[in-house]
Amino acid sequence: MSPLPPAEQQSAILDDDAHPNTPHGPDTAKARAAVRGGAFAYFVDQFDIYLPIVVLAPATDYFQSAHLSASTTALLASLVFASTLIGRPLGAIIFGHFADTVGRKRTTLVAVGGFGVITLITACLPGHETIGTWSVGLLIALRFIDGIFLGGEYTTAVPLAMEWSPRHKRGLYASVITSTSPAAYAMIAALTLLLLQAMPSTGLHSSYVQWGWRIPFLVGAVLSALLFRYYLKQVHEPPPEYTGERHKLPLVQLLVRYPKSLAQVFVLMTGTWLATNMEAAVTPGQLKEHLALSSKQVTLTMLVINASAALCYPLFGLLSQRIGRRRFYIGYGLSVMVIGAGSYALLMVSDGGLGAAVGWGVMIGVFTVGTFGPIAAYLTERFPASIRSTGYGVGYSLALIAPAFYQFYLRQFDGVMPSHLAPAVLIALAGALIAFGGFLGPETKDVDMADDSTIPKLA
């Protein structure tokens, strides 16, 4: 079952008052198209970024030598994911510049086309048997380039959607958009589970290892093509008052005029990405290695974890609209520290089994990645129109870099505590950063996207 709301429910959500707070309101059809486009774009983005974590996990032997140690294999696998994350801030800077100076829509089209092509090329890669270590090297390099285009896509598409959204619905619309992230993970997990069920996956020459993993990458390329066509035909640039006076160097404007705002967002997003990496990248390995679940059981557990998170995002978005973004992030960060980290630790010390994994997994899903619920609204509300894409993209992506090296941090706990409990410590640290970042920031839910004077700056 898809964790996304039914199509009719989404349509009703987006049809109700789908216009910004302007005196007369722009075309509501354009507003709905922009928000739907933002949700579709975020889904395709997240589908693409999670592909190597889920899909390639059972096919590691295809890209790497069987003679490598377990630690080296894990390190190379983490670099495949980390390379994408490292490319995203660079993409945010490049594409944020053009989104703020040329236009949101045209820049989105270039970014979407770029990562669609890279995903298609990745699906055609030869393996270690054919080209040796070049195989994993090319995979890492392509994922880095892919990360640049992915960083550009959400830097342009999300601010465009938020600028078309009504002020009193931004929290809800933001959560509808970001709920597609765990939904994308759940879809990949379901597709991988189906493939593992339908074909042999044990051994280098098994069907899944040789060609089955390519199918989800091809699906990702097709989704990119559909997204490109949707933006080309359906999505429009926001009204001029929502993009502001264009500066030649928006990144310089961001760094010179809003350094404290950027630093505050950096703290919050560092915690957000650290918690995300523990949930999305580390948990599958721990389920398999420490709790001895099969590949199918791990995939099913991760599906449940991310479906639970997806269902909670709209609730978190509505909650932030009611109590305010600042209060939400302070409270949610504390919940991650206590409930998220505690649930992870309790799962790891349990007797194992699929039931325990699914039960505790639901708690982990809800209380590790829920920061993303209203994040699209919050980050676009933090920066003025003329540098909004750059501010959103850099603020969202710059904090990716340090958490991307999570494997190095986890190794620091060797000899101090069991390796299966170390991720719980980093989840607690992530929660502390989220709460502190929320505390440092102002309230933003009543910001008028067309009026820069309503955007609060830090003292």
- Digit-coded pLDDT (tens) for 72-110: 777 777 788 788 888 988 999 999 999 998 888 999 999
Cα–Cα distance for residue pair 173/40, rounded to 1 Å? 12
In the structure, what pLDDT confidence band is assigned to residue 146 with cuts at 50, 70 and 90?
very high
> Looking up tokens 């493939």, which residue turns up?
195
- What is the pLDDT averaged over residues 245-255? 82
Tally of CB atoms within 10 A around 286: 21
Burial class (CB in 10 A: 0-12, 13-18, 19+), 318: middle
In the structure, what pLDDT confidence band is assigned to residue 190 with cuts at 50, 70 and 90?
confident
Query: What count of Cα atoms within 13 Å lies in the side-chain half-sphere of residue 119?
Result: 30
SS (H, E, C) the chain: CCCCCCHHHHHHHHHCCCCCCCCCCCCHHHHHHHHHHHHHHHHHHHHHHHHHHHCCHHHHHHHCCCCCCHHHHHHHHHHHHHHHHHHHHHHHHHHHHHHHHCCHHHHHHHHHHHHHHHHHHHCCCCCHHHHCCHHHHHHHHHHHHHHHHHHHHHHHHHHHHHHCCCHHHHHHHHHHHHCHHHHHHHHHHHHHHHHHHHCCCCCCCCHHHHHHCHHHHHHHHHHHHHHHHHHHHHCCCCCHHHCCCCCCCHHHHHHHHCHHHHHHHHHHHHHHHHHHHHHHHHHHHHHHHCCCCCHHHHHHHHHHHHHHHHHHHHHHHHHHHHHCHHHHHHHHHHHHHHHHHHHHHHHHCCCCCHHHHHHHHHHHHHCCCHHHCCHHHHHHHCCCHHHHHHHHHHHHHHHHHHHHCHHHHHHCCCCCCCCCCHHHHHHHHHHHHHHHHHHHCCCCCCCCCCCHHHCCCCC
Say what the pLDDT of residue 6 is: 40
Q: Give 284-293 pLDDT, tens digit per residue.
A: 889 988 898 8
Cα–Cα distance for residue pair 74/346, rounded to 1 Å? 24
In the structure, what pLDDT confidence band is assigned to residue 114 with cuts at 50, 70 and 90?
very high
pLDDT at 410 over 70: yes
Say what the pLDDT of residue 246 is: 66
- What is the pLDDT averaged over residues 330-338? 98
Say what the pLDDT of residue 74 is: 72
pLDDT at 13 over 70: no
Say what the pLDDT of residue 342 is: 96
Cα–Cα distance for residue pair 144/138, rounded to 1 Å? 10
Please give the C-alpha separations between residue 407 and each of 245, 381, 414, in angstroms, as whole numbers. Answer: 43, 33, 11
| Dihedral sign for Cα atoms in the order 256, 259, 265, 270 | positive
- What is the pLDDT averaged over residues 117-136? 89
Residue ranges covered by each domain of the chain: 27-234+248-454
Q: Give 416-455 pLDDT, tens digit per residue.
A: 999 899 999 999 999 999 999 999 999 999 988 877 888 8
Contacts of residues 229-232 at CB distance under 8 Å and 24 or more positions apart, as own/partner, are 230/37, 230/40, 231/37, 231/41, 231/105, 231/108, 231/109, 231/112, 231/157, 232/109
In the structure, what pLDDT confidence band is assigned to residue 23 with cuts at 50, 70 and 90?
very low
pLDDT at 140 over 70: yes
Please give the C-alpha separations between residue 57 and each of 17, 294, 455, in angstroms, as whole numbers. Answer: 44, 12, 44
pLDDT at 69 over 80: no
pLDDT higher for 130 or 342?
A: 342
Q: Give 344-383 pLDDT, tens digit per residue.
A: 999 999 877 899 999 999 999 999 999 999 999 999 999 9
Angle between helices 180-198 and 170-178 (to 10 degrees): 20
Cα–Cα distance for residue pair 285/295, rounded to 1 Å? 10
Q: Give 298-309 pLDDT, tens digit per residue.
A: 888 988 898 898
Q: Is the CATH code 1.10.150.130 the one for domain 27-234+248-454?
A: no
